[in-house]
Amino acid sequence: MKTVSENKCFGGVQGVYSAPSAACGVDMTFGLFLPQEAEDGPVPLLWFLAGLTCTHENAMTKAGAQVWAAEQGIGLVFPDTSPRGEGVPNDEAYDLGQGAGFYVNATRDPWAKNFQMWDYISDELPALLAANFAIDAERQALTGHSMGGHGALTLAMNFPERYRSVSAFAPIANPTESDWGIKQLSAYIGENKSDWSTHDASLLMRERGFDGPVLIDQGTEDQFWDLLRPEALASAMVDRRQDGRFRLQKGYDHSYFMISSFIEDHITMHAEALYS
């Protein structure tokens, strides 16, 4: 593992690191914020999964999350959204290939060799963090934005024993019925829709739900509303009577301005679950 940078931040350290990934077949970069409490022992960890076109850097620099994480004494990890580099397959469109891993394990060529983001996020990177940093592997939670909100929700409902809480900002909520999903799942996994259900938050919510706090924030002026399909997730939460909150934020769009406006609420919810 290589240290790319480390900066003092709200009493803690905001670092950027790079390490070879067996899952993705290339070096993967991630950001990690550790609060001052990590100097005395392991701290809980909140994952922030980013959206289409993003790297580890977007949420790390734009979400304004560190100040609230420092106040609550929890760590933040900002993974990249896909493998990158020479030899990694890509597509001319922004919503497929590098920057658009969709948090799945690809099974189709040319993507299968590198695009194993499900394994990277759920197994490989957690093990790397636990082995090298003051992280409490038993106290973890997930949040994310757009494609990353899709990843956070699907990971939480597939591995409920690993995560104590989950939240999302404007998640891609129903990818099996959206152009932000049908295209990518077909390319990465194949045309058989029965293989897609474990990667659809609305279907998972209706079938399984989540045994822990859930918080969703969705802007009413989100320019990608029709692609996100938030109504499908809201309906599934109501039908299942899920313990959680789905908030429509009047006038807000899909940008990091929305995220930074409500990130304090999300981190507070996660901190309560992580320290309970």
SS3 readout for 26-89: CEEEEEEEECHHHHCCCEEEEEEECCCCCCCHHHHHHCCCHHHHHHHCCEEEEECCCCCCCCCC
Residues 266 and 221 sit within 8 Å (Cβ to Cβ): no
Nearest-CA neighbor of 234 among 267, 201, 269, 261?
201
Active-site annotation holds for 186:
no
Residues 62 and 260 sit within 8 Å (Cβ to Cβ): yes
pLDDT at 142: 98
Pairing of strands 166-169, 214-219: parallel
3-class DSSP state of 194: helix
Cα distance between residue 142 and residue 165, in whole Å: 7
Domains, in order of start, for the chain: 2-275 (3.40.50.1820)
Residue partners of 262: CB distance under 8 A and separation at least 6 = 169, 217, 249
pLDDT at 209: 97
pLDDT at 276: 86
User: Residues 217, 222, 266, 270: which is the catalytic one?
Assistant: 222
pLDDT (tens place) for every residue of the chain, 276 residues total: 999 999 999 999 999 999 999 999 999 999 999 999 999 999 999 999 999 999 999 999 999 999 999 999 999 999 999 999 999 999 999 999 999 999 999 999 999 999 999 999 999 999 999 999 999 999 999 999 999 999 999 999 999 999 999 999 999 999 999 999 999 999 999 999 989 999 999 999 999 999 999 999 999 999 999 999 999 999 999 999 999 999 999 999 999 999 999 999 999 999 999 998
Active-site annotation holds for 222:
yes
Residues 37 and 73 sit within 8 Å (Cβ to Cβ): yes
Nearest-CA neighbor of 97 among 78, 77, 113?
113
Residue 237 is encoded by which pair of tokens? 């939460």
Residues 23 and 128 sit within 8 Å (Cβ to Cβ): no
User: Residues 82, 146, 178, 202: which is the catalytic one?
Assistant: 146
CA distances from 127 to 7, 47, 122, 204 (A): 23, 14, 9, 26
**Phi, psi dihedrals of residue 72, rounded to the nearest 5°:** -95, -10
Instruction: Quote the pTM value.
Output: 0.97
Active-site annotation holds for 146:
yes
| CA Rg value for the chain | 17
Residues 107 and 190 sit within 8 Å (Cβ to Cβ): yes
pLDDT at 170: 98
